[in-house]
């Protein structure tokens, strides 16, 4: 059963979109300790890192390091934040162990979730307040500075359930590059010193569920995260003893604080309908200070930057069964975003401050009509007045035909829009470090929202005799009004067009009651109007590059795959193994030195559960990553990932 595709609870075979569900069992079997890595289990998903803790998660390749075309929600709260319109994954106040399941909509879903879901939606559901009744502590230690500890307290009551997590996570990021990538000269190593990418986070989250009667439920959530990221790039100045940076962004710490509060109310109605109201407030605060090497001169006086972001959102929704064969969900939402930035540049004796505020409104509706026992129509739309005061309607229509009760064909067409970010409409006046501070005095006049038109054909088959299910998807998406940075006007403009086409497949097989196998595969192609990209001042590829000269096509791996195997063993042991493959690609906004060859990775996890005196239960697990020791690189060539391992111990009482 899935919920996020249409805002109605539906079997996967009746959802209007192709979807991937990552459940708790898969999360544990993967052995991953960071949330972005979980999306390696989704066909067609691209996961990489700009720095050790700055993840890139996108669908159909990455058009730049910010991956601005995918909506991300946690318990319905959007964490796709201004001013860049991306997700600060390291700042989220939850851990992998706080997640119950993840639903990923593969393809546009603006009819249900509005602008900025032009490529898809990630909907993360945290574990229920009443999932545990007791206490738990977990300690993880391993290579590359991995050092995590978390404790959880929970209680199930007659009218009140609650749980709370306190956690600390730390690692040293990627390894140092020792061999020049992609046949570049030895001197290239000095230009790629990216070794300052450690991360330490301290977080808290709390969730309570108050159910005073049989019809009302109240959900209360809040959380906080304090994160310290190592950022910046450095090489060695041959004429001086101090390190410098070729772009002014020297090694330093980026300090981030984020917090949220969310209140929800759900009432079950007499007609088997449901009324829900949700309010959330999210805040992020980041700041950095570092000496700079600008224009060939070293300035010990630190550049100082700070950025504050806030979002308030309220949503009302009504689910109404119109008849035995028809269900309707409709509602409205209001969202207000605000950004404030300050900076000081000592060489210029310049102090800079900026403040931007936007608001947007949404009206949505979705109807599920069972025309016959075999034919189901899902139709919905979202009407929005976005942050630029532009008005859009995003319709989505899908027909699901049950050839047999276990064989389903799906055909769908949808339209989605992406609202330009604050950085795109107000180009930054300064960005020597990690932060983007928009400049109110420089803007991009007439900038329009990007538009995505999507067509898809899907098939879902259940084969009980073989304990196997099959999910296939053929898609063709057309992007228009794409936004890019013009090299002539130095502002963002519309004009990029692109086409995405491909095939995706997921096969799940139950080997036995104690074993399972999941296989994902994607073959994807892209093409763009090179004239617009050339006007943007983008580089061209040399003929010796194994990828063609279409930047959009080159930025997408043509083939990608994943495999997850898990098996329960005698004497309370369990074993899982996962394999990941990614075809060669050229990151969209990086140079040839960052070309990514084919990646192959094999991980394994071995665990054992045990019981101790006094009712204490526990488990210990060993996770080994990159067993093939491929030493592959991520988005930037200096991000070297090699073999590593860690051990986790958990006690529950």
| Segment 502-553, tens digit of pLDDT | 999 999 999 988 999 999 999 999 988 865 555 444 444 433 344 445 778 8
Q: Is the pLDDT of residue 306 over 50?
A: yes
- Give the residue from 319, 308, 310 showing the smallest Cα distance to 280: 310
Q: Is the pLDDT of residue 633 over 70?
A: yes
Q: Is the pLDDT of residue 617 over 90?
A: yes
**pLDDT band, very low/low/confident/very high, at 433 (cuts 50, 70, 90):** confident
Give the separation between CA 370 and CA 351, rounded to whole angstroms.
Answer: 62
Q: Is the pLDDT of residue 432 over 90?
A: no
C-alpha distance from residue 112 to each of 135, 280, 564 (Å): 38, 18, 30
Q: What is the pLDDT of residues 363-406, one digit of tens each?
A: 999 999 999 999 999 999 999 998 888 899 999 999 999 999 99
pLDDT of amino acid 545: 43
Tell me the three state secondary structure of residue 253.
strand
C-beta separation of 336 from 282 below 8 A: no
Dihedral over Cα of 114, 223, 259, 310: its sign: positive
Please compute the mean of the pLDDT values over residues 623-650 and round it to a whole number. Answer: 91
DSSP readout, 306-360?
A: EEEEEEEEEEEEEEEEEETTEEEEEEEEEEEEEEEEEEEEGGGTEEEEEEEEEEE
Q: Hey, which residues does 337 pair with through a beta bridge?
A: 311, 358
Which runs of consecutive H residues, i.e. helices, occur in 129-176? none
Between residues 186 and 328, the one the model is more confident about: 328
pLDDT of amino acid 24: 96
Q: Is the pLDDT of residue 243 over 60?
A: no
pLDDT of amino acid 625: 97
Q: To the nearest 5 percent, what fractions of the chain are helix, strand and coil?
A: 10, 60, 30
Please compute the mean of the pLDDT values over residues 144-161 and round it to a whole number. Answer: 96
Contacts of 192 (CB under 8 A, 6+ apart): 177, 181, 233, 593, 636, 637, 638
CATH superfamily of 12-652: TonB-dependent receptor, beta-barrel domain (2.40.170.20)
C-alpha distance from residue 124 to each of 22, 75, 82, 96, 202 (Å): 9, 6, 20, 11, 20
Q: Is the pLDDT of residue 188 over 70?
A: no
**pLDDT band, very low/low/confident/very high, at 292 (cuts 50, 70, 90):** confident
**pLDDT band, very low/low/confident/very high, at 430 (cuts 50, 70, 90):** low
pLDDT of amino acid 627: 95
pLDDT of amino acid 416: 95
When mean pLDDT is compared across 73-82, 109-118, 241-250, 415-424, the lowest value belongs to 241-250
C-beta separation of 315 from 277 below 8 A: yes
Q: Is the pLDDT of residue 620 over 70?
A: yes
When mean pLDDT is compared across 140-149, 422-431, 575-584, 591-600, the lowest value belongs to 422-431
Contacts of 289 (CB under 8 A, 6+ apart): 252, 302, 303, 304, 305
Chain centroid offset of residue 431 CA: 24
C-beta separation of 483 from 64 below 8 A: no
Please compute the mean of the pLDDT values over residues 646-653 and round it to a whole number. Answer: 97
Q: Give me the count of residues in the chain.
A: 653
Number of H helices, E strands in the chain: 5, 35
Average pLDDT along the chain:
89
Please compute the mean of the pLDDT values over residues 75-87 and round it to a whole number. Answer: 93
pTM reported for the whole predicted model: 0.94
Q: Is the pLDDT of residue 237 over 70?
A: no
Please compute the mean of the pLDDT values over residues 304-310 and round it to a whole number. Answer: 94
Q: Give 59: exposed, middle or buried? Use CB within 10 Å, 0-12, 13-18, 19+.
A: buried
Strand intervals (E) in 39-78: 45-51, 54-59, 70-74, 77-78
Most confident of the following: 174-188, 493-507, 587-601: 493-507
How far the first Cα of the chain sits from its last, in Å, is 31
Please compute the mean of the pLDDT values over residues 267-278 and round it to a whole number. Answer: 95
DSSP readout, 255-308?
A: EEEEEEEEEEEEEE-TTS-EEEEEEEEEEEEEEEEEEEEETTEEEEEEEEEEEE
pLDDT of amino acid 193: 64
Q: Is the pLDDT of residue 178 over 80?
A: no
Q: Tell me 193's DSSP state.
A: B
Give the separation between CA 524 and CA 557, rounded to whole angstroms.
Answer: 7
pLDDT of amino acid 530: 65
The tokens for 461 are 């088959």
Percent of the chain at pLDDT exceeding 70:
91
The tokens for 152 are 């959880």
Give the separation between CA 141 and CA 149, rounded to whole angstroms.
Answer: 9
Q: Give the DSSP H/E element, type plus range, for residue 136.
A: strand 134-142
Give the separation between CA 558 and CA 553, rounded to whole angstroms.
Answer: 8
Annotated domain spans of the chain? 12-652
pLDDT of amino acid 446: 84
pLDDT of amino acid 593: 81
pLDDT of amino acid 159: 96
Q: Is the pLDDT of residue 234 over 90?
A: no
Between residues 146 and 68, the one the model is more confident about: 146
Tell me the three state secondary structure of residue 108.
coil
């Amino acid at each position: 059963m899935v919920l996020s595709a249409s805002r109605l609870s539906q079997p996967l075979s009746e959802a209007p979109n192709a979807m991937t569900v990552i459940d708790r069992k898969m999360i544990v079997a993967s052995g991953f300790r960071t949330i972005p890595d979980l999306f390696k289990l989704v066909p067609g998903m691209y996961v990489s890192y700009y720095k050790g803790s700055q993840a890139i998660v996108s669908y159909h390749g990455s058009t730049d390091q910010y991956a601005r075309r995918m909506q991300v929600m946690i318990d319905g709260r959007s964490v796709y934040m201004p001013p860049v319109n991306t997700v600060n994954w390291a700042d989220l106040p939850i851990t992998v162990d706080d997640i119950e399941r993840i639903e990923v909509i593969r393809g546009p879903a603006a009819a249900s979730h509005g602008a900025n879901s032009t490529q898809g939606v990630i909907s993360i559901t945290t574990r229920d307040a009443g999932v545990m009744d007791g206490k738990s502590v977990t300690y993880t230690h391993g290579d590359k500075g991995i050092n995590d500890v978390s404790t959880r307290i929970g209680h199930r009551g007659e009218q009140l359930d609650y749980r709370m997590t306190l956690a600390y996570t730390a690692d040293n990021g990627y390894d140092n590059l020792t061999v020049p990538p992609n046949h570049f000269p030895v001197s290239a190593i000095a230009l790629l010193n990216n070794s300052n990418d450690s991360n330490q986070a301290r977080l808290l989250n709390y969730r309570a569920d108050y159910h005073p009667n049989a019809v009302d439920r109240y959900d209360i959530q809040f959380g906080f995260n304090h994160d310290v990221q190592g950022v910046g790039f450095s090489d060695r100045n041959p004429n001086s003893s101090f390190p410098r940076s070729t772009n002014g962004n020297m090694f330093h710490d980026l300090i981030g604080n984020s917090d949220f509060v969310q209140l929800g109310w759900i009432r079950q109605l007499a007609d088997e309908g449901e009324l829900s109201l949700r309010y959330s407030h999210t805040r992020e605060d980041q700041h950095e200070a570092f000496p700079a090497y600008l224009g060939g001169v070293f300035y010990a006086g630190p550049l100082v930057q700070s950025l504050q972001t806030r979002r308030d959102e309220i949503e009302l929704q009504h689910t109404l069964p119109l008849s035995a064969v028809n269900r309707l969900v409709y509602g409205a939402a209001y969202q207000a975003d605000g950004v404030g930035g300050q900076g000081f540049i000592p060489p210029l004796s310049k102090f800079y401050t900026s403040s931007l505020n936007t608001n947007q409104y949404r009206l949505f509706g979705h109807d599920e009509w069972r025309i016959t026992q075999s034919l189901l129509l899902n139709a919905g739309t979202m009407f929005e007045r976005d942050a630029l005061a532009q008005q859009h309607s995003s319709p989505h229509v899908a027909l699901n035909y049950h050839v047999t009760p276990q064989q389903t064909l799906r055909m769908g067409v949808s339209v989605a829009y992406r609202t330009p970010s604050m950085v795109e409409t107000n180009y930054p006046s300064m960005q020597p470090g990690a932060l983007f501070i928009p400049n109110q005095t420089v803007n991009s006049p007439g900038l329009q929202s990007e538009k995505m038109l999507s067509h898809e054909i899907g098939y879902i088959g259940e084969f009980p005799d073989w304990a196997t299910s099959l999910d296939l998807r053929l898609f063709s998406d057309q992007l228009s009004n794409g936004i890019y940075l013009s090299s002539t006007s130095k502002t963002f403009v519309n004009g990029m067009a692109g086409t995405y086409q491909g095939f995706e497949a997921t096969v799940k097989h139950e080997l036995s009651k104690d074993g399972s196998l999941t296989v994902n595969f994607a073959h994807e192609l892209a093409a763009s109007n090179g004239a617009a990209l050339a006007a943007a001042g983008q580089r061209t590829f040399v003929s010796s590059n194994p990828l063609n000269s279409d930047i959009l096509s080159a930025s997408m791996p043509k083939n990608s795959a994943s495999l997850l195997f898990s098996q329960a063993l005698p004497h309370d042991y369990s074993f899982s193994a996962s394999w990941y493959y990614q075809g060669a690609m050229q990151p969209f906004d990086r140079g040839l030195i960052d070309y990514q060859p084919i990646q192959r990775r094999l991980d394994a996890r071995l665990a054992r559960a045990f019981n101790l005196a006094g009712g204490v239960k526990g488990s210990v697990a060993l996770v080994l990553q990159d067993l093939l020791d491929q030493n592959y690189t991520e988005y930037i060539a200096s991000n070297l990932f090699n073999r590593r391992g860690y051990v986790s111990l958990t006690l529950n009482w």
